């Protein structure tokens, strides 16, 4: 969040300072997150529960509710990191130079585009 202070009047700045001070006091009164988390975990354990059971983040809660466990989504082979994809563009001057259209354009293609040619001119 950023606030453009340059565009605020003196009255608006004073109101903003008052709001910030009020928020700062509210935050200062709160206990640290780690302390609250520790208290919640110990209370849950004292009552015989786990945090997963109480807040529904664990597999056991879903199974007790009759909801089957989720299977991880299968990745397509083409979406896998480093998977080869067929080339879409070829250098007419050197047919062995191709580009699949992913990542940065090769130097030969960048040079041709800078000369005014269109990407479609190199489509396979």
Q: Render pLDDT for 35-69 as a digit per residue (tens, 0 to 9).
A: 998 999 899 999 998 888 888 765 554 555 555 55
Q: Please answer whether residues 53 and 60 qualify as being in contact, where contact means their C-beta atoms are separated by less than 8 angstroms.
A: yes
CB atoms within 10 A of CB 99: 19
Please provide the size of the chain in residues. 124
Query: Taking the domains of the chain in order of start, what are their residue ranges?
Result: 9-64, 77-122
Q: Please answer whether residues 98 and 90 qualify as being in contact, where contact means their C-beta atoms are separated by less than 8 angstroms.
A: yes
Taken in order 78, 81, 84, 90, the sign of the CA dihedral is positive
Q: What angle do CA 63, 64, 70 make, to 5 degrees?
A: 15
Answering whether pTM is above 0.75, one says no
24 — pLDDT class (breaks 50, 70, 90): very high
Check residue 3 and give its pLDDT: 81
Spell out the residues 6+ positions from residue 112 whose beta carbon is closer than 8 angstroms to its own: 91, 121, 122
């Amino acid at each position: 969040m950023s606030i453009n202070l340059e565009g605020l009047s003196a009255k608006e700045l004073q109101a903003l300072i008052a709001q910030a001070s009020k928020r700062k006091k509210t935050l200062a009164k709160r206990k640290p997150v780690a302390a609250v988390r520790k208290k919640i975990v110990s209370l849950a354990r004292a009552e015989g529960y786990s945090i997963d059971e109480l807040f529904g983040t664990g597999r056991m809660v879903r199974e007790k509710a009759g909801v089957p466990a989720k299977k991880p989504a299968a990745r397509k082979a083409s979406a896998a990191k480093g998977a080869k994809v067929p080339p879409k563009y070829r250098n007419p001057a050197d047919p062995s130079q191709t580009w699949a259209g992913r990542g940065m354009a090769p130097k030969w293609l960048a040079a041709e585009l800078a000369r005014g040619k269109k990407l479609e001119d190199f489509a396979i």
